A = this chain, B = another copy of it.
Amino acid sequence: MCRWLAYSGSPILLESILYKPQHSLIDQSLHARLGPHTTNGDGFGVGWYGEGDEPALYKCVDPVWNDRNLKELSRQIRSRLMFAHIRASTGTPVQQTNCHPFRHGKWLWMHNGQIAGFAGVKRELVMAVDPALYGSIEGSSDTEVFFYLALTFGLAENPPAAVQRAVGFIERTCRAQGIEHPMRMSVAASDGESLWAFRYSSEGVPPSLFYSTDVQALREQHPEIEVFRTLSDESRMVVSEPLGELAGVWNEVPPSSWGRIREGQDQVGPFIPAAH
């Protein structure tokens, strides 16, 4: 069911967060611990903010553990805001246009979870996407449709409100078709300035999600990653599962909540799908 990580802070090499940690995302592609799938080999993707205004993407359908190019690139890509995602498909084809992260303008978006019964509601959901945005949908995944609904409902103006509206709409649409518990999600989104995280489930425990709070603790936890010594106090990571042993470093993101990481004051709030 996918694993992801997002980083915001001092510019560091992608390699530091993608390959070096003990239980890195690469390791999670074969030995994930906190999801229903130990193997996440149905493609991967990284997105990062570097040259220019729009984020760059590198997405492939191959298992990440074999990809030599990604290993090379991770030693060259230095960025202050990076997304990485490994996929375990929930039914839609394995193709580049179904890999995360998704991008629209300066926005990046990735997701772990699924919309239950998506095949039956897809047409309705897609039709609710702003016609001006419809043409930007390239693939066939639930995640991408979810992203375009969030954009339709004002992601660029107010991300928590937009995502809550999108989830509310999805839940209503699914329930009208007899799908009682439609939504499971941990989501990361960014416009290049802030890093937004969301954790919610229509019912039960949502997909796992953790954030790092203490850079000092990060340094102690990962002595093998020298670059952490150079990190600013603002540096943060949000991850599907901890990159190392739980030692007071990784904090669980509460269910039904959202968070915003940015320079200066971070924000948190409750995630409540909009009623209408």
Please provide the chain A residues from 14 to 57 with a CB less than 8 Å away from any CB of chain B in the complex: 30, 38-39, 41-42, 48, 50-52, 56-57
Smallest Cβ-Cβ distance to A67: which chain B residue: B94
Instruction: Please state if B41 and A41 are interface contacts (CB–CB under 8 Å).
Output: yes
Instruction: State in angstroms the CA–CA spacing of A58 and B42 once bound together.
Output: 20
Q: Is A267 an interface residue (CB 8 A)?
A: no
Cα distance A139–B98 when bound, in Å? 11
Determine the residue in chain B with the shortest Cβ distance to A96.
B95
A114 shortest CB reach to chain B, Å: 16
Say yes or no: A51 contacts B78, CB within 8 Å.
yes
Distance to closest chain B CB from A1 (angstroms):
14
* Residues of B contacting A63 in the complex (Cβ-Cβ under 8 angstroms): 41-42, 63
- Report the minimum CB–CB distance from A46 to chain B (whole Å): 10
Whether B13 pairs with A51 at a CB distance below 8 angstroms is yes
- Which residue of the partner chain, among B50, B62, B95, B122, contacts A76 with CB atoms under 8 Å? B50
Contact (Cβ within 8 A) A93 B30? no
Give the interface size bracket for A toward B: 35 or more
The reply to whether B58 and A75 contact each other, CB–CB distance below 8 Å, is no
How many Å from the CB of A82 to the closest CB on chain B?
A: 12
* A134, B13: Cα distance in complex, Å: 32
Which of B51, B62, B123 is in CB contact (< 8 Å) with A131?
Answer: B123
Given A93-B138, A96-B68, A96-B95, does the pair A75, B52 have CB atoms closer than 8 Å?
A: yes
A99 to B185, CA, bound (A): 32
> Contact flags (1/0) for A57-100 with B, using CB distance below 8 Å?
11111110110110011011110000000000100011111000
Give CA–CA (A69, B119) in the complex, Å: 22
A96 to B62, CA, bound (A): 14
Bound-complex Cα distance A270 to B51 (A): 42
Q: How does the 8 Å CB contact mask read for A128-139 relative to B, with 1 for contact and 0 for none?
A: 000100110011
A120 at the interface (CB under 8 A from B): yes
Q: Let me know if B135 and A120 touch, CB within 8 A.
A: yes
Contacts of A59 in B (CB 8 A): 68-69
Query: Which chain A residues have a beta carbon within 8 Å of chain B's beta carbons?
Result: 13, 30, 38-39, 41-42, 48, 50-52, 56-63, 65-66, 68-69, 72-73, 75-78, 89, 93-97, 119-120, 122-123, 127, 131, 134-135, 138-140
Subset of 16 A-B contacts with CB under 8 Å: A38-B39, A39-B41, A41-B63, A41-B65, A42-B63, A56-B72, A56-B75, A57-B72, A66-B89, A73-B73, A93-B96, A93-B97, A93-B138, A95-B96, A95-B97, A122-B134
